[in-house]
Amino acid sequence: MIIVTGATGKLGRRTVERLLERVPADRVGVSVRDPRTAKDLADRGVRVRQGSFDDPASLVHAFEGAEQLLLVSLDRTGEECVSGHRAAIDAAVQAGAGRILYTSQMGAAHDSRFQPCRDHAATEDLLRATGLPWTALRNGFYAASALQFLESARHTGDIALPADGPVAWTGHDDLAEAAAVILADEGRFEGPTPPLTGPVALDFDTVAELASQVTGRPITRTVVPGDVFREQALAHGAPAPVADLMLSIFAAARNGEFTAVDPTMAELIGREPATFGALLERAWAE
């Protein structure tokens, strides 16, 4: 059986849907905090069990019978993130999982300037130490993050953000499909995959040009000093750790941590991944 955690989240839900196109429903199970949110999956024959990263015993039960387990990374940072992943990995070992797959990130490294990439590197170390077969899906940086940064530009006509560098912004739908393909073809990758990325790395200067094309009106790009950006984020209600985390994305991008573009995604899904321009056009049409 293939078990997916976080199956009601943005990436987990899409992955389950793509997986059900490839394997029978009775071969798929999900671990969710509240089984009621996955009732529609249960109605389709998917095994739904309650599992919480804060309750290791529940995870052991949720992971029972896992030939493969897809561990979707937690939306936490630092030790809180890594300890949750550690609990899930220990539960997978206890449950007798055959292989653990993990949604890591391109740029995962202990010396990254972006805390989540350091967390991913630490989690990959935990996977390596289990002795089990494992795969780390080195996902491209979520395009949804860029779209969130651009939200105010829809109204102001100006992308006012710190100095950045090229980033291989990548869509959730493509990443979910790639994960489903890898799960359906067990053992396709050992250890970290190549970067699973969109077709090109873009900085926000180029994004401004794309946004101008999408909207048919000029969208400018203004570089905001990091300390000013942080103060603006705090003024808009962001907690200090969140403001610092957002700022670190730009530092990591300037450091070239998200520039890699690789053909593996296209090979997996059988087509070119969605361009950022297409994702932007879809999002701004809503």
Q: How many separate domains does the chain show?
A: 1
Average pLDDT over residues 75-85: 95
Residue 115: inside a domain: yes
pLDDT at 286: 72
Rounded mean pLDDT, 10-36: 97
Answer yes or no: is 48 within a domain: yes
120 in any annotated domain: yes
Is 46 within the bounds of a domain?
yes
Q: What are the Cα distances from residue 56, in Å, to 50, 96, 202, 282?
A: 11, 14, 40, 39
- Give the structural domain span for 21: 2-138+172-192
Cα gap 129→132, rounded to integer Å: 8
Question: The pTM is what?
Answer: 0.96
Q: What is the pLDDT of residues 44-79, one digit of tens each?
A: 999 999 999 999 999 999 999 999 999 999 999 999
How far is it, in rounded angstroms, from Cα 105 to Cα 65?
Answer: 27
Instruction: Evaluate whether residue 271 is within a structural domain.
Output: no
Domain membership of residue 49 (yes or no) is: yes
Decide if 113 is inside a domain.
yes
pLDDT above 70 for 187: no
For 139, the 3-state DSSP assignment is strand
Task: Please check whether residue 73 lies inside any domain of the structure.
Answer: yes
At residue 285 the predicted structure's pLDDT band, cuts being 50, 70 and 90, is confident
Give the pLDDT confidence of 246-272 residue by residue, as tens digits: 999 999 999 999 999 999 999 999 999
- b/e per residue 106-144 (b: at least 16 CB within 10 A): bbbbeebbbbbbbbbbbbbebbeeeebbbbbbbbbbbbb
The domain that holds 34 is classified in CATH as 3.40.50.720
pLDDT over 80 (residue 186):
no
Place of tokens 């739904």: 48
CB atoms closer than 10 angstroms to residue 270: 8
